[in-house]
Amino acid sequence: MPLHRLRSVTIGLPCVDAACAFYADFGLVQSRPGRFETCDGGEQLCIESASQRRLIALSVGVDDCDDLGRAETALARLGITARRGERDLDAVDPATGVRARLVIEPRRTQKPAPVLATNAPGRTQRIDARSAAVLEGHAPRPRRISHVVVGSADAAASRRFFVEGLGFRVSDEVPAIGASFLRCSTDHHNLLVQPAPVPFVHHTAWEMDDVDAVGRAAAVMVAADPSRHVWGIGRHGIGSNYFWYLRDPAGNFCEYTSDLDVVVDDEVWKVSASAAAHPLAAWGPPVPASFLAPEDVVALARGG
């Protein structure tokens, strides 16, 4: 697959200072005003001033010029003109207004997360020792961005733009609601497009080492401000990932996540969201209504 990683997302929102303080607490490091780094991914979040919260742009790593050429041709077939540079390509999804940028860059490898010794029935790995999960005092930090979820007024057109135009792969679909889980790497999903009356960011998700890191980081955030809590801790059915969702000051949800499915071979992976016994959550607290239908989306659709 020529696309190899989600490099970054740019989010527009009205309350830049409050959002920047939130994402610093969240564990991202502000490298310059409005730009945030993860441990492994470099600058992966850009926050810009906008009248309404929305995804302004996303950036994807590709291998070489041929990948840019293929995308340029495919986009032209959809009637979309791309701006082509020597090492990058820009195009705008007509349905959401999101600017997608493909950039030639080397593939990255991550330092492996430590494996915690665990005990289970018939399998004792940790003897005469406390778990490292209870010894660490600091809040763990996100390793990299995992995915972004956007609402689109024409989800089918957005899917065409990203899949047929840019070369994203489809990992799972939920036909009943018109949602598509798309990837630009081996992660099960880097982008989820779902129908909405107005383009908006449903959530960004940030990869943590493991479920303990998800729980510990979110617990610190919620202890500092209980109103940040949205939904978790639980495990999704589609993607299999652990989750705990918080809310930023602009109303965007942001997820600590770990253990997302990895898809390497399209011949082996079966696209079937219904394969999971419970697609939304294998387990976890009841899903809040505001997670499925964020309260401000109707107002956003009205323009304020």
Q: Are 241 and 260 in contact (CB under 8 A)?
A: yes
SS3 106: coil
Residue 110 to residue 117: CA distance in whole angstroms: 21
Residue corresponding to tokens 């617990």: 219
| Least Cβ distance, residue 84 to Fe ion (angstroms) | 32
* CA gap 254, 291 in Å, rounded: 11
Nearer Cβ to Fe ion, position 82 or 200? Answer: 200
Yes or no: say if 165 and 89 are a contact pair by the CB < 8 Å rule. no
- The verdict on 201 binding Fe ion (CB under 5 A) reads no
Among 255, 261, 281, 300, binds Fe ion (CB under 5 A): 255
Q: By rule CB under 5 A, what count of residues binds Fe ion?
A: 2
Stretch that binds Fe ion, among 1-9, 103-111, 247-255, 268-276 (CB under 5 A): 247-255
How far apart (Å, rounded) are the C-alpha atoms in residues 45 and 183? 18
User: Binding string to Fe ion for residues 175 to 194, with x set by CB under 5 A, is what?
Assistant: --------------------
* Residue 68 C-beta: closest distance to Fe ion, Å: 29
The window from 3-11, 88-96, 249-257, 271-279 that contacts Fe ion (CB under 5 A) reads 249-257
Kindly write out the interface string for residues 265-294 of this chain, putting x where it contacts Fe ion by CB under 5 A and - elsewhere.
Answer: ------------------------------
Q: Which residue, 85, 5, 90, is CA-closest to 41?
A: 5
Count CA atoms closer than 13 A to 143's CA, side-chain side.
17
Q: Is 205 in the site for Fe ion (CB under 5 A)?
A: yes
Within 150-169, the residues that bind Fe ion by CB under 5 A are none
Residues forming contacts to Fe ion in the complex (CB under 5 A) are 205, 255
